[in-house]
Amino acid sequence: MGALCQRMTEDLKLKNYAESTKREYLRCAQRFAVHYMRSPAEMGEREIRDFLLALAFQEAKPATLKMYVASLKFLYAVTLRRPEEVVALPWPKVPQRLPDILSGTEVDALLGAIEPLLHRAVVMTAYGSGLRIREACSLRTEDIDAKRHLIHVRDGKRGRDRFVMLPERLQAFLREYWRQVRPPKPYLFPGAKPHRPITPGAVRTVLQKAVRKTGLKKHVTLHALRHAFATHLLETGTDLRVIQALLGHRSMRSTVRYTHVSPQYVGRVDSPLDLLGTKKGRVLG
């Protein structure tokens, strides 16, 4: 795509998109160009629809199709300034499946199986404070406020900062981690190059080894630990609005879904059937 790729990169930068989103948008746009061996500037709605239909016939996952649609909408509406080419492009419907939720015992076993110490510290921080893995990997030493028992999450999703709790067990573990590892500043969890943070990919690899070691049969990912954090808070009586703030959700709709995955929460709800003919059921008429 040449100059057009550079312009799209600059537009994504000006919009302050996350690095992972920028990479995916550019990858999708470049594949679109390669598919036709032409510049997107020379094409329009017909080529876009045919390309997406080809992906659909190849049984691309709905989430994959959605990423291509988002990328091409950005390319034409923002970079090429031809929004009319993509305005009628439908968004693929992505099925909303309930994630597997780890129990407290399973999380404890998993944390104990993670080696080395650096990777265990990252995963324990992600679960203990409900962080996205990128947020956990990017923490700096000054983000840990031991006196106030808080972690300062900087530049979270959509560029928002927030504070989350620093659990006592995590604080004690980080002290031991610090004593043994002595990570060089600025990052709390340095990567192969000390001036750069550890990558989410490196942590994922170690996590999957721990999953095999513990014999867990559930679908376990780093994001599954964030789901577990939210669900466990709900099950122990934490208000949904507090959970929303801790997770950094912009909308309560994102948080409410945890009421659907918590058996304990669902089990505490009275069915109207049990209320019929009772004093509490009088409100039913």
Q: Which of 223, 241, 250, 260 is catalytic?
A: 223
Quickly list DSSP for 180-228. HH-PPSSBSSB-SSTTSBPPHHHHHHHHHHHHHHHT--S---HHHHHHH
Q: Which of 73, 120, 134, 226 is catalytic?
A: 226
Quick check: is 258 catalytic? yes
How far is residue 15 from each of residues 11, 66, 72, 76, 168, measured CA to CA in Å?
A: 6, 19, 15, 15, 38
Residues 37, 14: Cα–Cα separation, whole Å: 28
Query: Hey, what are 249's tokens?
Result: 């959700």
Quick check: is 152 catalytic? no
Quick check: is 49 catalytic? no
Residues 187, 118: Cα–Cα separation, whole Å: 12
Neighbours of 123 (CB within 10 A): 22
Quick check: is 132 catalytic? yes
Listed in order, strand segments (DSSP E) in the chain are: 144-145, 150-153, 162-165
Quick check: is 223 catalytic? yes
Beta-bridge partner residues of 162: 153
Quick check: is 226 catalytic? yes
Cα 252 to the center of its chain, rounded Å: 16
Q: What is the DSSP pairing of strand 144-145 with strand 162-165?
A: unpaired
Q: Which of 132, 134, 227, 232 is catalytic?
A: 132
Listed in order, strand segments (DSSP E) in 57-184 are: 144-145, 150-153, 162-165
Q: Which of 209, 249, 257, 265 is catalytic?
A: 249
Q: Which of 82, 157, 162, 209 is catalytic?
A: 157
How far is residue 240 from each of residues 68, 150, 200, measured CA to CA in Å?
A: 33, 19, 28
Q: Which of 243, 222, 230 is nearest to 126 (CA)?
A: 222
Please give the positions annotated as active site. Answer: 132, 157, 223, 226, 249, 258
